[in-house]
Structure formats: C-alpha cells, structure tokens
C-alpha cells in the first residue's frame, strides 16, 4: 500500500498533527481503538481506568495489530539495513540509494553521485574513499584491524550506535537517514567529523574515490522542508 496519500484520521481534533505516514497513522489508530474499546467495556471512570494495568495492550495485542497491518499491504520504513536483512517482509526497500545511470556532472565534468544536508560547515571539502558500513561485522573488522585511511563512511543508521566505537576514526560520514538534529549528527559534531545527513545517493559504489562538499553552509535544523537542491552538499565521484 502506498504512503503517498494521508489516511483518514478518526480523531482529527484530539491530536496536534498528522502522523508522518499512513502506516504510522494506521498503527496508532488501531492502538487507540483497542484502548477505547476496553475502556468502554470496563465501565470504569477515567481516573480508575488509567491505573488499571489490565486495560493496557499486551505484547500479543501489538503483534496482532502489526500482523493485520502487514496483511493489508502496509510496510514499515527502514532506518537501518540490518532490519531489512532480518525481516524483509516487514519493510520497504531502503530509500536513498539508486543507480539511474543519469548522474549530472559538476562544473568540472565529474559525476555528482549524491547530495545531503551538511551538519556543520567544515573548513574545506573532503576527499576520500566511500566505504559502506551497515552491519556489526564490518564495524568489528574495522575495530580490530583499524579504519582504513581516508574513509568516508556511508551508513544508514542515523542513531549512531552502530559506528560509535570507530566514529572518531572516520575522515567523514554520509548518512542516508535522519536530520542534522539526529543523534549521529550530534556525535559527529562533537567528534568534529564532517557529516552529511538525509543523503540521497545515485551511482555511488563501495570503494569509489569521492570529494564531498563539507564546506557548504550547515543545513537549517528547523526547516520544514528538505530545502532547495542548491543548498544540499554534493558528493562528487573522482575519475
């Protein structure tokens, strides 16, 4: 089922804003409906009901709601490759990575293979080797053997937990998810490791030599939109 249109909201005047996607709205609505049904059947006052743990949804209740969602064609957005690898039937394909073969060129005729929101403005652009790091095995390999020199880490988990042990050894980071306010954005700023968040990649392969425009101004952390494309830092593949 597509998330391109908003689902109908059963309680439009009770919630401050619409859910981010119809999948989230559908899930939350099912939980609310379950609680409302149990509250009505209990015959208790609200003051009594909020202290009655038997009215809370159980693990089995939440698993059934999830199963019903999946049966209707809904899928969850993935925040890390490991989720898609372990439970592919639950998640949409990972967004942000394509290979259209139609990359635009920069002013010097070099292919632009990605863009992203800059966490902070670095003194200059960074040249390095793109290396995809999306699972524990890769992190352990680099933790025990060392992070290769000039690694521009391409990661998909905006939480930063996966790469935290080796984060300070990266030359730079490109993350496919999150925003400049995400945990990873905060960590890279503290480590002074240049970082792009919410990146979109097109034709970037593991091992490619790239230059990344970390000298671009930092993205507006409170912007309502992703911002115009001209404000996004570019990832340029070197010959």
Longest dimension (CA), the chain: 73
Number of domains comprising the chain: 2
Q: Looking at the structure, do residues 124 and 41 belong to the same domain, yes or no?
A: no
In a shared domain, residues 53 and 102: no
- Indicate the residue among 40, 74, 108 that finishes a domain: 74
Kindly report which listed range (147-156, 191-200, 207-216, 217-226) carries the lowest average pLDDT score.
Answer: 217-226
Beta-strand (E) ranges in the chain?
97-98, 112-118, 126-132, 151-155, 172-175, 195-202, 209-212, 233-237
pLDDT for res 33: 93
Calculate ∠ Cα 194-211-107, nearest 5°: 125
Q: What is the mean pLDDT of residues 95-116?
A: 89
Q: pLDDT confidence of 95, banded at 50, 70, 90? A: low
| Structural domain boundaries enclosing 53 | 1-74
Indicate the pLDDT class of residue 20, thresholds 50, 70 and 90: confident
pLDDT of residue 4: 42
Kindly tell me if the per-residue pLDDT of 43 is higher than 70: yes
Rounded average pLDDT over 74-93: 80
Q: Are residues 66 and 115 in the same domain?
A: no
Same domain, 57 and 101: no
| Within a domain: 45 | yes
Percent of the chain beyond pLDDT 70?
87
Asked whether the predicted pLDDT for residue 15 surpasses 90, the reply is: no
Q: Which residue in 205, 17, 215, 173 sits closest to 164, CA to CA?
A: 173
Average pLDDT over residues 76-98: 78
Which DSSP string corresponds to 162-186? TTGGGGGG-SEEEESS--TTSHHHH
In this structure, the answer to whether residues 126 and 21 fall within a common structural domain is: no
Can you say whether residue 160 is alpha, beta or left, with left for phi > 0 and alpha for psi between -120 and 50 degrees?
A: left
Contacts from 82-91 at CB under 8 Å and sequence distance 24+? 82/134, 82/135, 82/136, 82/157, 85/135, 90/66
Residue 198's φ and ψ, nearest 5 degrees, are 55, 45
CA nearest neighbour of 172 among 129, 208, 209: 129
| CA 194 to the chain's CA centroid | 18
Q: What average pLDDT does the segment 92-117 reach?
A: 88
Q: What is the pLDDT of residue 99?
A: 84
In a domain, 80, yes or no: no
In a domain, 10, yes or no: yes
In this model, does residue 229 exceed pLDDT 70? no
Compute CA distances 24 → 6, 20, 27, 36, 155, whole Å.
10, 7, 5, 18, 24
Contacts of 94 (CB under 8 A, 6+ apart): 78, 81, 84, 156, 176
pLDDT, one tens digit per residue, over 108-131 is: 999 999 999 999 999 999 999 999
Q: Both 101 and 189 in a single domain?
A: yes
**84 occurs within a structural domain:** no
SS3 content of the chain, % helix, strand, coil (to 5): 30, 20, 50
Range 148-166 average pLDDT = 91
In a domain, 230, yes or no: yes
Q: What is the pLDDT of residue 220?
A: 85
């Amino acid at each position: 089922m597509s998330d391109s249109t908003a689902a109908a909201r059963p309680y439009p005047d009770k919630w401050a804003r619409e859910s981010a996607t119809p999948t989230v709205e559908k899930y939350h609505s099912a939980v609310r409906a379950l609680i409302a049904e149990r509250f009505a059947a209990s015959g208790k006052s609200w003051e009594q009901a909020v202290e009655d743990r038997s009215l809370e949804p159980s693990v089995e209740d939440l698993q059934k709601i999830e199963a019903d969602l999946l049966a209707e064609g809904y899928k969850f957005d993935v925040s890390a490759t490991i989720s898609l690898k372990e439970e592919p039937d639950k998640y949409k394909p990972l967004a942000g990575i394509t290979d259209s073969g139609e990359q635009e060129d920069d002013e010097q005729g070099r292919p632009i293979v990605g863009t992203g929101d800059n966490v902070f403005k670095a003194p200059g652009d960074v040249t390095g080797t793109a290396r995809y790091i999306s699972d524990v095995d890769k992190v352990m390999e680099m933790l025990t053997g060392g992070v290769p020199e000039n690694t521009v880490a391409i990661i998909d988990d905006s939480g930063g937990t996966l790469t935290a042990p080796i984060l300070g050894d990266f030359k730079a980071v490109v993350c496919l998810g999150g925003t400049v306010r995400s945990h990873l954005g905060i960590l890279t700023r503290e480590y002074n490791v240049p970082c792009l968040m919410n990146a979109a990649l097109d034709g970037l392969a593991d091992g490619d030599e790239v230059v990344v425009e970390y000298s671009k101004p930092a993205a507006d952390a409170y912007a309502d939109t992703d911002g115009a494309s001209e404000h996004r830092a570019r990832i340029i593949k070197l010959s």
